[in-house]
Homo-oligomer: A and B are copies of this chain.
Amino acid sequence: MIHTDEMIKETTRLENFSDGVFAIVITLLALELKIPDDISAENLGEVLLERWPSYISFFISFFSVLIMWVNHHRIFKFIKKADNSFIYLNGLMLCIVSIVPFTTALVSGYFNTSASSLVQAVYAGQFILINISFNWLWYVVRKHKTVVLSAANKKIVSRMTLAYAIGFPGYLLAMGMAFISPMLSMMVCFMLWICWAVAMINVKTKEDIVQ
């Protein structure tokens, strides 16, 4: 009995820690909106308008991290026990997620310049890394899971597996496209978010929640 409780508690603490990192990352994104110190009052309005890539990349990054958090949440529902290798794998994923504010700042600052392809490729490339870490995490969970799955849950697992698998070529496409049209690449990044969100909503409404 105590054994089981300890296990549950361990997962809870890992979830709380991960949630803390997600919450901090998502809130730090807004720090990138900061305008330079030396803008005169006369130019302020103009500068605020010129910085539209900041607002778009902030918005896309915010909801990307949010959907990652939702997915992380969903994955942890299938875990009853977290061993050390899982903790490190989860840590690797958090490590890559924590650089989202950095790549977002790159896009904010250079999307309007001649370096737009470079920064957009870095931005999409980072999502490839995140996708790989999610696929890895999800693979480990599916392989080691101790939970008996209901028929409904099996369908959910298949959908999640599919969604994560599609993400890889999707973001690869976005990265390649960055060298042709950074704007189009940014839109692919945004649309991949929409796909996943819609997919998740459908799962929810059709077969109720995971066990």
Interface on A for B, CB 8 Å cutoff?
Answer: 2-3, 6-7, 10, 13, 15-17, 19-31, 33-37, 41-42, 44-45, 48, 58-59, 62-63, 66, 69-70, 73, 77, 83-85, 87-88, 91, 94-95, 98-99, 101-102, 105-106, 110, 113-115, 118-119, 122, 197, 200-201, 204-205, 209-211
Number of copies: 4
Q: How many angstroms from the CA of A33 to the CA of B115 in the assembled complex?
A: 18
Q: How many angstroms from the CA of A167 to the CA of B3 in the assembled complex?
A: 30
Give 10 A-B pairs besides A28-B31, A41-B110, A62-B98 with Cβ atoms closer than 8 angstroms: A3-B209, A3-B211, A6-B77, A16-B19, A24-B27, A25-B27, A31-B101, A34-B102, A44-B119, A84-B201
